[in-house]
Amino acid sequence: MARDTLTGSRIRERRVMAGLKQAELASAAGISASYLNLIEHNRRGIGGKLLLDIAEVLGVEPALLSEGAEATLIAALREAASDPKAAPVEVDRVDEFAGRFPGWAGLLSDNRRRIASLERTVETLSDRLTHDPHLAASLHEMLSTVTSIRSTASILNDPADLSPEWSARFHRNVYEDATRLAETSRALVGYLEASGDATSEASAPQDEMDAVLASAGYFLEPLEHSPDGISDLSETLGVELSADARTLLDAHLNRYASDAEQLPHEILAPKMLAGETDPFAIAGALRLSPGLVMRRMAILSGSVLDDDFGLALCDGTGTLTYRKPLQDFSLPRFGAGCPLWPLYSALCAPGMPIMRLIAQPGATDRQIKAFAYAEDTQAPALDGARLLKVHMLMVPVPFGAADEKTEAVGVSCRICPRNDCAGRREPSILSTGQ
């Protein structure tokens, strides 16, 4: 049922909310109760002066009756229905449901948002509990200290006689262990309360740098035209960073300046504005490294296009060393990502361009065009280790232009709801496991 035919349903809803009987509203509007009954059941159209009169009696704006206030509710309900874990529903009647029962629709919409928020919280906490080395080290330290205190206390509680010297030593051990346990507990609480704050002492240096770059929008105007601003920019962005994070930031700024010098904004931006999104084609035309082109496209996209591009980098171990996430494509904060990503396919085939259409399960299932390429970080040596750097550029496909040949991928196995995945390496907290 189209939204513009729901005026009668809205009138009925407002009449009930106002505590008016059908005959009372009909009399006040100057029409018969039978005619109002036909209007309220959407069997007669309404407009003009009659709509104005009824709106005046109900004390609402006419547009609220003719257009409704449920557009946001309808969008939220459609989003809920698109959830791959949701039961089949009558999507074609969502407009009628929102129009006739706005209260229930609002309740479902609010619950949907609350569930989505809780799922994101669970995903984040699970990711941290599973992969965060700092959290694991803190918990291990606490358990070791508690075990030590318990062992010492059991000795002191033993009825066997202890010399005053040994008794004093054990009491001192309990005191020192308890002090260390208190300090570790305070540090752990501070780390958890920091919730990703880049300035937290417990944060990993990579996390600190990623947070600073995200707050700066990734695009650094001072380095686009001259590398002379590296020192000043490092001082500005890294004022609250740890020493290790500052080292990573300086390396990133130097690479940024070098990339901007090799592929200036004035050369790449017109190509992107013209709709060129294939980094391999651009790299071939300009005789540049595909990795360099991917980095520049990810950096410039937010400043020249409506859609931002994402970028993920990993080394030969598969560990993510750089993250520029997308709203429609999540990247794990710790550990490796989904083994189905083109990023890891490229790791197995250095020097081979890879492009695949992928999508993560979620509210939008937006299609992403992922370009991946692995290149050597240094010239290969005879019988020497081969060091690789892998890039994956993520270009969102415009809504309405999606291709059916999309490969479903996840974020990481621990927080992926897909049960039928051949690449799963550990159970998911979001699936039934069936």
Each residue of 215-232: pLDDT tens digit?
888 888 889 888 888 888
Instruction: Label the pairing between strands 320-324 and 368-376.
Output: unpaired
Give residue 92's pLDDT band: very low, low, confident or very high (50, 70, 90). confident
pLDDT at 273 over 80: yes
Is residue 130 within 8 A of residue 333, CB to CB? The reply is no
The mean pLDDT of 371-389, rounded to a whole number, is: 85
Q: Which of 72-76, 297-301, 320-324, 376-380 shows the lowest per-residue confidence on average (mean pLDDT)?
A: 72-76
The rounded mean pLDDT for the chain is: 80
Residues pairing with 355 in the sheet: 371
d(CA 6, CA 105): 15
Residue 76 has a CB neighbour count (10 Å cut-off) of 21
**Predicted pLDDT of residue 63:** 72
Each residue's pLDDT tens digit, 166-200: 888 888 888 888 888 888 787 777 666 654 443 44
Q: Which of 84-88, 271-275, 334-338 shows the lowest per-residue confidence on average (mean pLDDT)?
A: 84-88
pLDDT at 201 over 50: no
d(CA 293, CA 280): 8
Give residue 203's pLDDT band: very low, low, confident or very high (50, 70, 90). low
Percent of the chain with pLDDT over 90: 19
The residue among 1 and 308 whose pLDDT is bigger is 308
d(CA 234, CA 228): 11
Each residue's pLDDT tens digit, 25-50: 988 888 888 888 888 887 777 777 88
The mean pLDDT of 233-256, rounded to a whole number, is: 89
**Predicted pLDDT of residue 331:** 82
Which residue has 């993510």 as its token pair? 320
pLDDT at 142 over 80: yes
Single pTM value for the model: 0.57
